[in-house]
Amino acid sequence: MALTLYGGARSRASMVLWYLKEKGIPCHFQTLDMQAGEHRQEAFLAINPFGRVPALVDDAFQAPEGGPLKLAESGAILLHLAENYGAEFAGDAGRAAALRSLSQQWVVYANATLGPAMFQAADRPDDLARQLAVLNDRLSHNTSLLSGTGGPVPWGAADCAVQSYLAYLPMFCSGVDLSPYAAVQASIEATNQRPAYKEAMGSR
């Protein structure tokens, strides 16, 4: 099995890198010089025609057109890793299916709902506030987003996706007052202290 992750400096690839490091999954990280437009060159467009990072090549799986599987979109990559390398969806078939579905829900939520709310925080502050209130309530009961699903759950793709965005809050939404969300603040602090997170952020 060989995995290659393509990313650039301060890109969403660091989210995937964090997951890989947290789970101890070996992967070659290929840094693209995005300032120089390497992500728009032929060689990378053959991996992701959209010319965006992250992208993953996994030679343990075959692409429908032949050759190794090539995947784009941070959420799809996280879910692929969770399914095939992360040992996340354990238990009997019913529980495993529920964990998988909930994991998909949180990963899609992070990319499609939380991320956009953060980027539009100045125009639609109420949307982000509503989401932070729900997340704060959720995180004040459990540190893992999949907790409460009838047994222990390892840290996983759901936590990685949501916590990655939350950790960006103080940076990207510096105008948002986080003081009403103590559990969100605590979880950002906890993320910043995780050795794998620090390592991923340091090497992106």
Ligand X SMILES: N[C@@H](CCC(=O)N[C@@H](CS)C(=O)NCC(=O)O)C(=O)O
Does residue 12 interact with ligand X by CB under 6 A? yes
Does residue 204 interact with ligand X by CB under 6 A? no
Helix (H, G, I), strand (E, B) or coil at 58: strand
Token readout for 68 is 């190794």
Among 72-80, 82-90, 91-99, 165-173, the segment contacting ligand X (CB under 6 A):
72-80
CA distance 97 to 22: 23
Instruction: Please count the CA atoms within 13 angstroms of the CA of 105 that sit on its side-chain side.
Output: 8
Residue type (1 letter), 104: Q
Does residue 52 interact with ligand X by CB under 6 A? yes
Q: Which residue, 51 or 125, has its beta carbon nearer to ligand X?
A: 51
Among 52-60, 80-88, 156-164, 170-178, the segment contacting ligand X (CB under 6 A):
52-60
Q: Which residue, 75 or 156, has its beta carbon nearer to ligand X?
A: 75
Alpha-carbon torsion (28, 160, 23, 80), positive or negative = negative
Does residue 159 interact with ligand X by CB under 6 A? no
CA distance 55 to 180: 36
For tokens 């290659």, what's the residue?
4
Does residue 73 interact with ligand X by CB under 6 A? yes
For tokens 């969403």, what's the residue?
12
Q: Identify the residue among 74, 136, 164, 187 touching ligand X (CB under 6 A).
A: 74
The residues in 111-130 that bind ligand X, with binding defined as CB under 6 A, are: 111
Does residue 187 interact with ligand X by CB under 6 A? no
CA distance 113 to 82: 21
Residue nearest to ligand X (CB): 52
Among 69-77, 147-155, 168-176, 179-187, the segment contacting ligand X (CB under 6 A):
69-77
Pairing of strands 28-31, 3-7: parallel
CB of 41 to ligand X, least distance (A): 12
How many CB atoms within 10 Å of residue 6?
A: 25
Q: Provide the binding-site residues for ligand X, judged by CB under 6 A.
A: 11-12, 39, 51-54, 73-75, 111
